[in-house]
Chains A and B, each alone.
Chain A
Amino acid sequence: MPYEVALLNNYLLVGAALFGIGLVGFVSRRNLIVMFLSAEMMLQGVSLSLVAWGRFHNDFGGQLLVLFIIAVAACEAAVALAMITMLFRRSGKLDAAHWQTLREANQPRFHEEPLPEEFGDQPLPWPRLTPAGIQPDVPREKIDYRPKV
């Protein structure tokens, strides 16, 4: 396979993979900001393909279209972040499921399953030190109390 064709082929494949990953992220994540990052990732995949095609056709049009994509992405980021900030002021969280009352009339409600606790959220095991000196008279719950790790 000639160099230019191989280059175009590989760039298109990487762009397709980026587009697919961004699509999965946009569809599945619930955090508004992560959804937005995924949409930007899809734009990056398209940009890669455009640059590769521009080189293959020996034309600056692909690169300039990517330049416009960057400009539109900046506009999009400004407006979307303003809207996300507004939504956050109303609801106090960045959860897309909080706005599910905006769904269509006969669509079912999203049910949130209770989350099992993970190890990462459990309190850390504290080390046991060898006691030294006179034992002070401190109640047990005061010793174990940790406000915030």
Chain B
Amino acid sequence: MNDLPIIPILATLLGGLAFWLMLPRGTARGRGVGALAMAMALGLAGSQMPRVGDWLDNSVFFILAAVTIVSAVAAVTFRNPVYCAIWFGQMLLGTAGLFLFTGAQFLAVATTVVYAGAILVTFLFVLMLAQPEGKAAYDRVSWEAMLAAATGVVVVAALSMIIGRTFAPEGALYPWLGMPTSQQLAANVLTPAHVARLGGELFGRYLIAIEVAGVLLLVALVGAAVIIGREKR
């Protein structure tokens, strides 16, 4: 608390500056510098994160995290919306990998199939119907790029400061959070019968919720058809 965490603050500020440089502002000047600064910010932030397990776990996690974050930045800052959508797909694959890394096998597959397979393709469909010639003039300017980047800096700084204070070794809030042993994990969340347990929970504890979700999907389907069909009358 007494000494400021210099490197995380520096990383967040540098990331915000890089984001402002990389966002479309009507000019291509400074995008290379922005990409370089973003790489530096990500490296700084990664150097401050705690290591996870042995070197193999570490490298898998940090590669997946880097793929996710870099694709997310690219998806937001590219000017051609088709490239944005494709980078977004890669971001989804990165999050699917992270889900798999933490043991959520079904979610990894569901994210890949539903998000990257269905939703993203629908996006690309509309995009290519509406704007087949690539980037338009309004893709080359953004609203208030500097204020937007500053907002992102504030949000990320606040969140990561809270996270860092909660789990810092000397702050030691986490014993009160309760930590599972590996035997408990292997008996419940990391069980080999993952999908069976997940389905059991889904149709046991969350039966009403899944019925509501089904009704919601039906309502959305009907609503989309009504919205689209209104023009024809």
Of A25-33, A101-109, A127-135, A136-144, which binds chain B? A25-33
Residue pair A120, B28 in contact (C-beta under 8 Å): yes
Chain A min CB distance to B164 (Å): 8
Of A6, A37, A89, A97, the most chain B CB neighbours within 10 A belong to A37
Q: Provide the residues of chain A in CB contact with B179, threshold 8 Å.
A: 2, 4-5, 56
B126 nearest CB across to chain A (Å) = 5
Contact assessment for B137 and A10 in the assembled complex, using a CB-CB cutoff below 8 Å: no
Q: Could you list 18 further interchain pairs (A-B, Cβ under 8 angstroms) beyond the known A55-B190, A70-B114, A85-B126?
A: A4-B179, A10-B49, A17-B69, A21-B19, A21-B76, A37-B75, A41-B72, A41-B75, A44-B92, A55-B185, A60-B197, A64-B202, A68-B210, A75-B220, A85-B129, A93-B138, A94-B136, A115-B141
- Residues of chain B lying within 8 A (CB to CB) of residue A37: 75, 84-85, 88, 123
Known A-B contacts A17-B156, A67-B202; the reply to A22 vs B76 at CB < 8 A is: yes
Q: Nearest Cβ in chain B — how far from A16, in angstroms?
A: 4
Residue in A38, A55, A61 whose Cβ sees the most chain B Cβ within 10 Å? A55
CB distance from A127 to the nearest CB of B (A): 24
Scan residues 38-55 of chain B and give those whose CB is less than 8 A from a CB of chain A: 45, 49-53
Question: Closest residue of chain B to A86, judged by CB?
Answer: B227
How far is it, in angstroms, between the C-alpha of A72 and the C-alpha of B72 when the chains are bound? 21
Query: Across the interface, which residues of B come within 8 angstroms of A70, CB to CB?
Result: 110-111, 114-115
> Quick check: A71 and B217 within 8 Å, CB to CB?
yes
Chain B, interface size: which category?
A: 35 or more
Q: How many chain-A residues does the 8 Å CB contact rule pick out?
A: 85
Binding site for B on A (CB under 8 A): 1-14, 16-25, 27-31, 33-34, 36-38, 40-41, 44, 47-48, 51-52, 54-61, 63-64, 66-68, 70-79, 81-86, 88-89, 93-97, 110, 112-113, 115-116, 118-120
Distance between Cα atoms of A66 and B220 in the complex (Å): 19
Given contacts A28-B143, A40-B88, contact A1 B169 (CB under 8 A): yes
- Cα distance A68–B190 in the bound complex, in angstroms: 20
- Indicate whether A58 sits within 8 Å of B189 (C-beta atoms), given known contacts A23-B151, A27-B148, A93-B138: yes
Nearest-neighbor residue (CB-CB) of A4 within chain B: B179
A119 to B72: give the CA distance in the assembly, Å.
26
Docked pose: A83 CA to B136 CA in angstroms = 20
For residue B62, give the distance in angstroms from its CB to the closest CB of chain A.
9
Interface contact B167-A63, CB-CB below 8 Å = no
